[in-house]
Amino acid sequence: MNTKYMNIFQVDAFTDSPFKGNPTGVILIDRERPDSWMQGIAAEMNLSETAFLLKERGNSAFQLRWFTSTNEVSLCGHATLASAHILWE
């Protein structure tokens, strides 16, 4: 699959020390991707949750979805906070 860009981050939420807190993946994607593709990335990350951020065209909003290694979840607090951290950094 041809990829324009995909930035992958691993963030330790709820801590200011490496290897502590609650680890999560944060993926910035350049376009909508199939659920199976995001599920495969989340499985490979092998973290409790992986967040996928897609910037909406024409405004500053982002779409945010969360996947575990086995399924999509409706909400994940620490992955949401980690995503905000990546966007602000």
Greater pLDDT, 73 or 1: 73
49 in active site? yes
- Mind listing the pLDDT tens digit for each residue in 16-66? 898 899 999 999 998 999 999 999 999 999 999 999 999 998 888 999 999
pLDDT surpasses 80 at 82: yes
Burial class (CB in 10 A: 0-12, 13-18, 19+), 60: exposed
The gap from C-alpha 76 to its chain's centroid, in whole angstroms, comes to 10
pLDDT surpasses 80 at 1: no
Give the chain's domains with CATH numbers. 6-88 (3.10.310.10)
pLDDT surpasses 90 at 80: yes
State the catalytic residue, choosing from 32, 49, 56, 72.
49
